[in-house]
């Protein structure tokens, strides 16, 4: 056998080994792909089941509370203890300009930089102390010295 024939045989054996290894890698890749797809499907099924269970639990809770199961659950927002100036003005039933010009100086506020926060309790206390007893006559009600 010539050295050329020996080298051809050696390369043929290496090619056969590489082809077997490639077949093994292909099989493993297919198995991993199937396993990945199966895992993804199981994960999606679990998420769907969790979502369905949450909807059923929420619907059952709303039915217990006397709310229709078809209605979306009400959003629960925490009751603020302090509000900004525009909300404070709205709470008192006045405009922001009037609030800033006539009321801000009389109500304590929390300052952080340019932000002013007004405690709801302070606003309620201010409104209670600023309330006047109803008068029999007065300009504010369209009667009195300026009315005809």
Is-above-0.85 flag for pTM?
A: no
| pLDDT 10s digits, 60-83 | 776 666 666 566 666 788 889 999
The alpha carbon torsion through 53, 56, 62, 66 (nearest 10 deg) reads -150
Contact between 91 and 83 under an 8 Å Cβ cutoff? The reply is yes
Q: Which has more confidence, 11 or 143? A: 11
Whether the CB-CB separation of 82 and 91 falls below 8 Å is answered with: no
Q: Provide the pLDDT confidence category of residue 52 given band limits of 50, 70 and 90.
A: confident
What is the predicted pLDDT for the residue at 75? 76
Q: With a cut of 80, say whether residue 85 has pLDDT above it.
A: yes
Average pLDDT, the chain: 81
Are residues 98 and 89 in contact, defined by beta-carbon separation less than 8 angstroms? yes
Give the pLDDT band of residue 86 (cuts 50, 70, 90): very high
Q: What percentage of the chain carries pLDDT values higher than 90?
A: 32
DSSP per position, 13-63: HHHHHHHHHHHHHHHHHHHHHHHHHHHHHHHHHHHHHHHHHHHHHHHHHHH
Distances (CA, A) of 75 to 68, 71, 78, 132: 15, 12, 10, 38
Residue 140 has a pLDDT of 54
Residue 99: other Cβ atoms inside 10 A: 20
pLDDT of 142 > 80? The answer is no
Q: Stretch 1-12: mean pLDDT, rounded?
A: 84
């Amino acid at each position: 056998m010539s050295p050329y024939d020996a080298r051809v045989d050696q390369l043929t054996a290496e090619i056969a080994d590489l082809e077997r290894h490639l077949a093994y890698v292909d099989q493993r890749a297919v198995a991993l792909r199937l396993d990945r797809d199966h895992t993804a499907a199981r994960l999606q099924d679990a998420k769907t089941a969790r979502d369905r269970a949450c909807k059923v639990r929420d619907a059952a809770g709303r039915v217990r509370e006397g709310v229709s199961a078809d209605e979306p659950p009400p959003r629960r927002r925490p009751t603020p203890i302090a509000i900004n100036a525009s909300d404070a003005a709205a709470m008192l039933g006045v405009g922001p300009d009037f609030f800033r010009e006539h009321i801000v100086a009389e109500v304590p506020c929390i300052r952080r930089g340019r932000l002013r926060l007004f405690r709801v309790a302070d606003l309620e206390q201010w409104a209670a102390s600023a309330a006047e007893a109803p008068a029999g006559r007065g300009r504010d009600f369209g009667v009195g010295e300026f009315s005809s």
